[in-house]
């Protein structure tokens, strides 16, 4: 069958055989060298010395405020570890440790199983040991084989500022978390990883690089010195990040927001830097460090006021009358609209078979555009907006960045909702909706939902005539691009002029925001959002011009009442604070 003859010569066979035996001899020679000639050396090394690898967590980078004050720091805590291979009677030892540190041996055993990685790798048993606990363990050290303690850096919050939603928190990497990380090879069990907020967004800066040292340990597990044949690496601390926050202003506003539910954001419109961001109710940032008991955690998760929710990027609210600047822009730019023509407000307006009410049932009488803005007359806008299409309104919302993520530099921002023609068709069908929906949108109700951070960007754009960069929390060189609405300069003039009147006019809904400080001028708009979850939400958005600088503000108070009555007075308190805070300088 197989006809081709074998042509291997005796010569070739001998050479191949020679190669095989040369290779075998090389291997044998090397084993001979190690096992026979160098036996003494390796034998003593194996009898008295073993090499233990110890990793040292790098301290995470600090989080600073705009002036360099420390907001988030590290603090060394004691953790109790065990080398599993050196323990003699595990169950008994756990019981003894539990006695000394007044804990439960079941908890210690759970930790042991959670962190176990190998016979000779330090396994965490307990953390946050205090000095008493350490000294009691130290007294009984002779009975505790293979038990050690170690210091690790943990997050700690030295300032008066809480801002838990902004800072976010870190988690300890366990097996499940490690699996879920994109770059899992960078993490070991017990390392910290940024899980939310700035800690997550800037993880690659903050994390630093773990250090490793190798120790020789004797047969009893005692360290006898560093292993010289292997290079140790010192931990490399993470990079600090400087936020745009002003510590004093943030602390002040947090204090104002105790017992209130909602959001306050303060920014510098020209740079997009956020000076203060409060989402209330909040929780102590310490919640996730130290010993968070299951009960604390369950309690905070079940709280009906949802303190864990970061309201300024994840809360969506009807914007109500704060959209009226957009309506002004739509009307002036899209129609041959005469701002001086008055409309009559009798307190309600019948359109088709539906009656649309004004917030003031007795009506505002005859009002022109500026007067309608000042008193926030709804009927004026119902009537005026009939000349427009829903998509013209939609385009203007989008031009001001509403309905889209602002690319704020903390994770999990939501989009909110701005309806357009397509959306309405999909949602209600061809004939399921009518122009009446547009009337609702004109006063910021209906399907509209916005996040406070979008509103901050909106007010920044108004304050800078469309040129404000994106809002951000950390000083970085390269910001993502922002939307830049382009309006006629006369349109900007009109809108800004009307926002000033809202504050300064005797009937202005925003008059309670006027702090009456020499040299400070205020622009603003209030909003009172009807919502299905009870009492109205109160909005105030605006900015102050003071000593050649602008400070923008967004206030949203959930279920608190009317914007002019509740939100505007809070704005006044904060505006007054600008004047008394010396350090609010820029650049």
Partner 1 sequence: MIHWKKIDLYDIPWRILIIAIILTLIGLLALKSISYHHTKTLQNPFYKQVIFLLPSIVLSVLILFLPRYAVHKYSFIIYGAGIVLVILPFLDSEHAGTHRWLNVGLPFAVQPSEFAKIFTVIALARYLSDHTLKMKRFSSIIVPFILVLVPSVIVLNQPDLGTAIIMLTPILPMLYWSGSRPFYLFMILAPILSILTAFDTTLFAIWAIVMGSLIFIAQPKMSIGMSLFFGNIFLGLLSRPLWEMLKPYQQNRLITMLYPEKDPLGAAYQIIQSKTAIGSGGLLGKGWGAGTQTHLKFLPVQESDFILSVIGEELGFVTIAFILILFGYLINQILKYSFLSRDRFSSLVLIGIATILMSHVFVNTAMTVGLIPVKGLPFPFISAGGSFLMTSYIMTGLVMRLSIHYSD
Nearer to partner 1, 224 or 341 (CB): 224
Nearer to partner 1, 119 or 580 (CB): 119
List 120, 205, 351, 492, residue binding partner 1 (CB under 8 A): 120
List 30, 141, 160, 427, residue binding partner 1 (CB under 8 A): 30
Site for partner 1 in 72-91 (CB under 8 A): 85
Nearer to partner 1, 121 or 163 (CB): 121
Instruction: Name residues whose C-beta falls within 8 Å of residue 346's C-beta, 6 or more positions apart in sequence.
Output: 363, 379
Q: How many residues bind partner 1 (CB under 8 A)?
A: 47
Q: Which residues pair with 531 in a beta bridge?
A: 534
Residue 43 touches partner 1, criterion: CB under 8 A: yes
232 to 251: interface string for partner 1, x by CB under 8 A: -x------------------
Residue 2 touches partner 1, criterion: CB under 8 A: yes
CA nearest neighbour of 204 among 319, 58, 91:
58
**162, 254 Cβ separation under 8 angstroms:** yes
4 to 23: interface string for partner 1, x by CB under 8 A: xxxxx-x-xx--xx--xx-x
Site for partner 1 in 303-332 (CB under 8 A): none
- How near is the Cβ of 216 to partner 1 at its closest, in Å? 11
**202, 194 Cβ separation under 8 angstroms:** yes
Site for partner 1 in 191-230 (CB under 8 A): 212, 214, 229-230
- The C-alpha atoms of residue 554 and residue 448 are separated, in whole angstroms, by 18
Residue 118 touches partner 1, criterion: CB under 8 A: yes
Coil vs helix vs strand at 473: coil
- How near is the Cβ of 476 to partner 1 at its closest, in Å? 23
Residue 181 touches partner 1, criterion: CB under 8 A: no
- How near is the Cβ of 222 to partner 1 at its closest, in Å? 15
Which 8-state DSSP code applies to residue 474? B
Nearer to partner 1, 53 or 90 (CB): 53
Residue 180 touches partner 1, criterion: CB under 8 A: no
Residue 231 touches partner 1, criterion: CB under 8 A: yes
Nearer to partner 1, 29 or 357 (CB): 29
Which residues of 69-196 form beta strands (DSSP E)?
A: 70-82, 123-129, 147-156, 170-172, 192-194
Given CA atoms 10, 11, 16, 19 in this order, what sign does their dihedral have?
A: positive
- The C-alpha atoms of residue 277 and residue 471 are separated, in whole angstroms, by 11
Residue 39 touches partner 1, criterion: CB under 8 A: yes
- The C-alpha atoms of residue 555 and residue 542 are separated, in whole angstroms, by 9
- The C-alpha atoms of residue 382 and residue 461 are separated, in whole angstroms, by 25
Retrieve residue 380's tokens: 């004026």
CA nearest neighbour of 481 among 451, 452, 457, 450:
457
List 119, 284, 292, 467, residue binding partner 1 (CB under 8 A): 119
Coil vs helix vs strand at 401: coil
Which 8-state DSSP code applies to residue 35? I
Q: Which region among 3-11, 151-159, 398-406, 444-452 touches partner 1 (by CB under 8 A)?
A: 3-11
- How near is the Cβ of 205 to partner 1 at its closest, in Å? 18
Coil vs helix vs strand at 167: helix
- The C-alpha atoms of residue 401 and residue 519 are separated, in whole angstroms, by 31
The residue ranges that bind partner 1 (CB under 8 A) are 1-8, 10, 12-13, 16-17, 20-21, 23-24, 26-28, 30-32, 34-36, 38-39, 41-43, 45-47, 50-51, 53, 85, 118-120, 212, 214, 229-231, 233
């Amino acid at each position: 069958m197989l006809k081709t003859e074998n042509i291997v010569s005796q010569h070739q066979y001998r050479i191949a055989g020679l190669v095989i035996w040369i290779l075998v001899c090389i291997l044998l020679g090397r084993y001979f060298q190690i096992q026979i000639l160098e036996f003494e050396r390796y034998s003593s090394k194996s009898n008295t010395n073993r090499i233990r690898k110890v990793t040292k967590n790098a301290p995470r980078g600090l989080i600073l405020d705009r002036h360099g004050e420390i907001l988030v720091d590290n603090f060394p805590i004691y953790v109790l570890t065990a080398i599993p291979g050196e323990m003699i009677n595990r169950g008994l030892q756990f019981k003894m440790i539990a006695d000394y540190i007044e804990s439960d041996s079941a908890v210690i055993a759970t930790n042991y199983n959670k962190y176990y990685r190998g016979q000779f790798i330090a396994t965490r048993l307990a953390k946050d040991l205090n000095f008493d606990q350490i000294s009691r363990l130290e007294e009984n050290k002779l009975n505790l084989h293979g038990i050690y303690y170690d210091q690790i850096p943990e997050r700690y919050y030295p300032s008066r500022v809480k801002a838990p939603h902004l800072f976010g928190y870190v988690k300890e990497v366990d097996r499940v978390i490690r699996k879920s990380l994109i770059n899992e090879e960078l993490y070991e069990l017990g390392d910290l990883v940024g899980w939310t907020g700035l800690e997550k967004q800037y993880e690659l800066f903050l994390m630093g690089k773990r250090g490793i040292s190798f120790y020789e340990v004797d047969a009893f597990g005692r360290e006898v010195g560093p292993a010289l044949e292997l290079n140790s690496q010192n931990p490399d601390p993470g990079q600090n990040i400087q936020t745009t926050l002003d510590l004093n202003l943030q602390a002040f506003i947090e204090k104002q927001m105790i017992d209130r539910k909602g959001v306050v954001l303060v920014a510098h419109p020209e740079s997009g830097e956020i000076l203060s961001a409060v989402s209330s109710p909040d929780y102590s940032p310490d919640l996730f460090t130290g010993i968070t008991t299951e009960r604390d955690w369950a309690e905070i998760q079940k709280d009906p006021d949802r303190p864990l929710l970061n309201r300024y990027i994840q809360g969506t609210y009807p914007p109500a009358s704060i959209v009226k600047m957009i309506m002004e822009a739509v009307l002036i730019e899209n129609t041959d609209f005469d701002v001086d023509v008055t409309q009559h407000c009798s307190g309600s307006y019948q359109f088709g078979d539906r009656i649309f009410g004004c917030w003031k049932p007795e009506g505002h009488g005859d009002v022109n555009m500026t007067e309608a803005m000042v008193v926030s007359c709804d009927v004026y806008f119902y009537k005026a907006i009939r000349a427009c299409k829903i998509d013209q309104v939609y385009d203007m919302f989008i031009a001001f960045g509403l309905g889209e993520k602002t690319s704020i530099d903390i994770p999990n921002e939501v989009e909110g909702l701005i309806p357009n023609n397509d959306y309405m068709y999909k949602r209600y069908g061809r004939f399921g909706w009518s122009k009446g929906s547009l009337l609702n949108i004109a006063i910021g109700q209906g399907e509209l939902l916005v996040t406070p951070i979008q509103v901050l960007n909106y007010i920044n754009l108004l304050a800078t005539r469309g040129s404000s960069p994106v809002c951000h929390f950390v000083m970085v060189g390269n910001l993502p691009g922002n939307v830049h609405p382009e309006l006629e300069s006369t349109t900007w003039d009109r809108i800004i002029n009307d926002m000033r009147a809202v504050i300064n006019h005797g009937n202005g809904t925003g008059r309670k925001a006027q702090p009456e400080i020499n040299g400070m001028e205020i622009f603003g708009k209030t909003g009172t959002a009807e919502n299905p979850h009870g009492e109205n939400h109160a909005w105030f958005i605006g900015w102050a011009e003071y000593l050649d600088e602008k400070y923008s503000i967004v206030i949203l108070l959930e279920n608190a009442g009317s914007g002019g009555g509740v939100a505007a007075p809070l704005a006044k308190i904060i505006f007054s604070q600008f004047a008394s805070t010396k350090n609010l300088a820029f650049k």
